[in-house]
Amino acid sequence: MSGLWYTEKQTDHFGITMKIKRTLHTEQTDFQYLEMAETEEWGNMLFLDGMVMTSQKDEFVYHEMVAHVPLFTHPNPENILVVGGGDGGVIREVLKHPKVKKATLVDIDGKVIEYSKKFLPEIAGELDNERVDVRVDDGFMHIAKSENEYDVIMVDSTEPVGPAANLFTKGFYAGISKALKEDGIFVAQTDNPWFKADLIREVQRDVKEIFPITRLYTANIPTYPSGMWTFTIGSKKYDPLEVSDEQFHEIETKYYTKELHKAAFVLPKFVKDLTE
Amino acid sequence: MSGLWYTEKQTDHFGITMKIKRTLHTEQTDFQYLEMAETEEWGNMLFLDGMVMTSQKDEFVYHEMVAHVPLFTHPNPENILVVGGGDGGVIREVLKHPKVKKATLVDIDGKVIEYSKKFLPEIAGELDNERVDVRVDDGFMHIAKSENEYDVIMVDSTEPVGPAANLFTKGFYAGISKALKEDGIFVAQTDNPWFKADLIREVQRDVKEIFPITRLYTANIPTYPSGMWTFTIGSKKYDPLEVSDEQFHEIETKYYTKELHKAAFVLPKFVKDLTE
């Protein structure tokens, strides 16, 4: 048995460590250091620049919670944009909504898409669906060129360092607002409240200046720093807390439920304080 | 700077690792291997048998969520028993409730109490409060000898191996029922749903056979396995989901809120499935 362990330092002084069966692929792409490995605990995993992006065992949490919260909030989500998300997990969840006519994925790094299809097939498997348009392109520029086009935009980015740095700026949120229709919604992953409180506070402040409805919700992702992940919603018209029971329909999930849709917005006090 | 790191293997193939400033105390007690260390990320930490028990930075989550959920559910919690919990954190939270007249702490290992007072003073600081009766004794035996005595019993144990093994048995829950008054409530920490699903399912089944109201709730504890911790409540009369707004009073917390009191019981689907 291999003695190989993969350690992600989530802060300078804290990390997680995972037993590796074997490395599947390693490559410096044009944008980031990409690693795929088979782990004992979490199945196959994708790492970018030394950080866990997704694992076969816990990927459902992130992907369900990014997709279903805004999609059940919007009464008629037909045209969807996913920025980042080259592993395809968010797209897979988006397609569970029959109202969705078209989902565009824009990831800057084609290698993420390529190797996710190869080593994470149950995550990336819907990227070839006929309702999906996959583009290898700069999400920031794609947003800047779009106007009054999307019902829902989902920002499934890496951390605010490296290729995703400009996806955490006020200019980007303003671009998202312009790219959305007049009743559009966006959601972005916004890291964790234990180590990145300042980031969450800043994003909340920026999004509030542009969107009349700004909300923060959380989910438990064991392979992400602190196990508690946050998502920020900016919405022009529909409030995720005011979804009526009739708006929900049955979908197959392992984490999301219609009850959790609302409970996920009920924040621990120290997290709630970041939104005020 | 020290190159010392402390690694807890939370499963055979996954763990967390923490930069250590210095080791404060190490001792094989009569019951377990006790370590206190000063960490860079989490402040001072207590480890028992190589597992994180508590840290200065995130202890508030566990201690608030063990104490306040049952104490706000019971309309008149006067006589409280804490089994385990020698670090004193649960006691500190219990004393925030003015209705509590007496809180008895029974921990089998006096060394945990001694070194928590020394190195975790803001956690253990209320153990000398006049409303508190600290006993170094076997919690299982204390429960077995008690009858119709307590309003609320809180089981703040280590994992179901070593000295706490018999605190996860149906016989123990039957003893708790006997030790409680006719409208009593108990809560126990019951590990995490990612790596210990079978344990949670078993505890739910056992507690349901004894208590008419059985509930599971969760909290995010970043230094515990998976970051999502569960707590099982068994109650003879009062339902934690039916607490009226008037029953809450203001207390100082960093995690618990009256809104979270109910939201914490709304479970992700794969966790909810363990309770059915």
What tens digit of pLDDT does each residue of B75-92 get? 999 999 999 999 999 999
pLDDT score recorded for residue B258: 96
CA distance B2 to A256: 43
For residue B244, being part of any structural domain is answered with no
- Interface membership of B7 toward A (CB under 8 Å): yes
CATH number at residue A120: 3.40.50.150
Asked if residue B215 belongs to a domain, the reply is: yes
Nearest of B240, B253, B216 to residue B97 by alpha carbon: B253
* pLDDT surpassing 80 at residue B233: yes
Report ipTM (2 d.p.): 0.96
CB within 8 Å of chain B, chain A residues 145-204: 194
The answer to whether B253 faces chain A, any CB pair under 8 Å, is yes
Distance from CA of A138 to the nearest CA of B (A): 34
Say if A248 falls within a structural domain.
no
Instruction: Give contacts of A218 with chain B, Cβ < 8 Å.
Output: 220
pLDDT at A55 (0 to 100)? 98
Where is the domain boundary, A55, A72, A96? A55
Residues A30 and A96 in one domain: no
My answer on whether A85 and A219 are in the same domain is yes
The nearest CA of chain A is from the CA of B212 a distance in Å of 23
Return the pLDDT at A163: 75
DSSP secondary structure of A58-78 = THHHHHHHHHHHHHHHSSS--
Kindly state the percentage of chain A with pLDDT values over 70: 100
Are residues B197 and B96 located together in one domain of the fold?
yes
Tokens describing residue A195: 């180590």
Phi, psi of B126 (to 5 degrees): -95, 5
CA contacts within 13 A on the Cβ side of B229: 24
Cβ neighbours of residue B212 closer than 8 Å, sequence gap 6 or more: B235, B236, B237
pLDDT confidence of residue B68: 98
- Residue B73 and residue B139 in one domain: yes
Is there a single domain that holds both residue B158 and residue B21?
Answer: no
pLDDT tens-place string over residues A103-146: 999 999 999 999 999 999 999 999 999 999 999 999 999 999 99
Q: Do A257 and B263 touch (CB under 8 A)?
A: no
Tokens coding A261: 């849709």
The active-site residue, picked from A151, A156, A191, A206, is A156
Q: What is the pLDDT of residue B163?
A: 74
Average pLDDT over residues A24-30: 97
What does the pLDDT read at residue B168? 84
Indicate the average pLDDT of chain A.
Answer: 96
Single residue among B19, B37, B55 that ends a domain in this structure: B55
> Does the residue B268 lie in any domain?
yes
If asked whether residues B124 and B217 sit together in one domain, one would say yes
Mean pLDDT score, A212-238: 98
Kindly state the average pLDDT of the residues B143-160.
Answer: 93
B248 in any annotated domain = no
| Strands of chain A, DSSP E | 5-11, 14-28, 33-39, 43-48, 51-55, 79-84, 102-107, 132-136, 150-156, 180-189, 213-220, 228-235
Task: Provide the pLDDT confidence category of residue B234 given band limits of 50, 70 and 90.
Answer: very high
- Would you state the pLDDT for residue B162? 74
Strands B14-28, B33-39: pairing kind: antiparallel
Instruction: Report which of A183, A225, A237, A175 is spatially closest to residue A200, judged by C-alpha positions.
Output: A225
Average pLDDT, chain B: 96
Report, as an integer, the average pLDDT of A6-29. Answer: 97
Question: Which two structure tokens, joined as six digits, stand for B228?
Answer: 């999502």
Does residue A105 share a domain with residue A215?
A: yes
Task: Please tell me whether residues A145 and A103 are part of one structural domain.
Answer: yes
% of residues, chain B, pLDDT over 90: 93
First CA to last CA across chain A, in angstroms?
A: 51
Are A24 and A142 part of one and the same domain? no
**Whether residue A22 is found in the same domain as residue A104:** no
Contact between chains at B40 and A12 (C-beta distance less than 8 A): yes
Q: Give the closest-approach CA distance of A147 to chain B in angstroms.
A: 36
Q: How many alpha carbons fall within 13 Å on the CB side of residue A1? A: 7
Judging by beta carbons within 10 Å of its beta carbon (0-12, 13-18, 19+), is residue A110 exposed, middle or buried? Answer: middle
Buried b (16+ CB within 10 A) or exposed e, A214-250: bbbbbbbbbbbbbbbbbbbbbbbebebeebeeeeeee
- State whether residue A4 sits within 8 Å of chain B by CB: no
pLDDT in the model for residue A2: 81
**Average pLDDT rounded to a whole number, residues A214-234:** 98
> For an interface test with B, which of A41, A218, A254 has the most B Cβ atoms less than 10 Å from its Cβ?
A41
- Tell me the two tokens of residue B209: 């056979």
Query: What range does the domain containing A216 cover?
Result: 59-238+269-273
- Specify if B25 maps to a domain: yes
Distance CA A120, CA A115 (A): 8
Q: How deeply is B270 buried, as exposed, middle or buried, from its count of CB atoms within 10 A (0-12, 13-18, 19+)?
A: middle
Alpha-carbon distance of B178 to B181, in angstroms, equals 8
Between A170-179 and A197-210, two packed helices, what is the crossing angle to 10 degrees? Answer: 40
In this structure, the dihedral spanned by the alpha carbons of residues B55, B61, B64 and B69, taken in order and rounded to 10 degrees, is -140
β-pair partners for A215: A233
Say yes or no for a CB contact (<8 Å) between B255 and A268.
yes
List CB contacts (< 8 A) between B219 and chain A.
268
B191 annotated ligand-binding residue: no
| Displacement of CA A205 from its chain's centroid (Å) | 20
Instruction: Give me the residues of A, 55-94, that contact B with CB < 8 A.
Output: 58, 61
Two structure tokens written together for A77: 């989500």
In a domain, A262, yes or no: no
Q: Is B138 annotated as a binding residue?
A: yes
Q: Which chain B positions have a beta carbon within 8 Å of A40's beta carbon?
A: 12-14
Residue A10 sits at the vertex; the CA angle it makes with A56 and A32, to the nearest 5 degrees, is 70
- pLDDT digit string, tens, across residues A157-192: 887 777 777 888 899 999 999 999 999 999 999 999
CB distance B59 to B89 below 8 Å: yes
pLDDT of A58 reads 98
pLDDT at B165: 78
Domain of A13: which CATH number?
A: 2.30.140.10
Name which of A15, A40, A255 is nearest B269 (Cβ-Cβ).
A255
> Cβ distance A215 to A203 under 8 Å?
no
Q: Give catalytic status of residue A156 as yes or no.
A: yes
Residues B78 and B162 in one domain: yes
Residue of A nearest to B20 (CA): A13
Q: Name the DSSP class of B169.
A: S
* Listed residues B37, B55, B73: the one ending a domain: B55
Residue type, B127: L
A160 plus A192 within the same structural domain: yes
Number of domains in chain A: 2
What are the catalytic residues of B? Answer: 156
Phi/psi for A263 (5° steps) reads -65, -30
Rounded mean pLDDT, B231-235: 98
Position B164 pLDDT exceeds 80: no
pLDDT of residue A175: 97
Q: Comparing A34-38, B1-5, B122-126, which segment has the lowest mean pLDDT?
A: B1-5
Whether A230 is in a domain gets the answer yes
CA-based nearest distance B134→chain A, Å: 30
